[in-house]
Amino acid sequence: MKVTDFTIEPVERKVIQSFVHKWHYSHSTNGVQQTQCFALFNDEKLIGAMMYALPSMKSTASKYNPDNPLRCWELRRLCCIDDTPTNTESYFIGRTLRWMKNNTDIKKVISYADKTYNHEGGIYKASNFKHLGMTQPSKVIVWDKKLYHEKTIRNDRPYARKVKAAVDSGQAYYRDTLPKHIYMYELRS
């Protein structure tokens, strides 16, 4: 099995959502309002998934692409099955970036590597993303063995109301997290 044998296709969220829930370290797509999803296949078998979206905070897009924040996307989820060959993730990222350059007017892509999960951003470095620094430490809400960003309870979505109720009742609690690495890839200057 070689990475060049794999196929990558733009897909609807429903094609990859359960795969992301199984294979991504967060086991969640809550709060991800995807803009473009991709699937990585080995023959007909789904072996990887990726979700790009507008950054969850408008100020983030404005910070990294002030001329037109809507032309800044965030790589929100990337996961592959465990036994893929070396360089699978960077190959997958590279192919999706090429697709975006040819099929969208996106200028910049940002992503984060979460030190809380021992992620340093090696796949972003291998994919020629530029390291921009670190975020501030933050907090997550721990509930039912899942982690939710502390800002989850600020929206009025059904899952957010449930998380807030769990915090209020003491079933959920806050936990500190480490800073995240910030990476950016310029599709167009």
Query: The whole model's pTM is what?
Result: 0.87
**Mean pLDDT, contiguous 10-residue spans, the chain (189 residues):** 91 96 87 90 96 88 91 96 94 97 96 91 96 93 84 82 93 93 94
pLDDT of residue 152: 80
pLDDT of residue 149: 79
How many helices (H) and strands (E) in the chain? 5, 10
DSSP H or E run through 174: strand 173-176
Q: How many angstroms separate the CA atoms of 11 and 83, rounded?
A: 23
pLDDT of residue 82: 92
* Residues whose CB is less than 8 angstroms from the CB of residue 11 and which lie 6 or more positions away in sequence, other chains included: 37, 38, 39
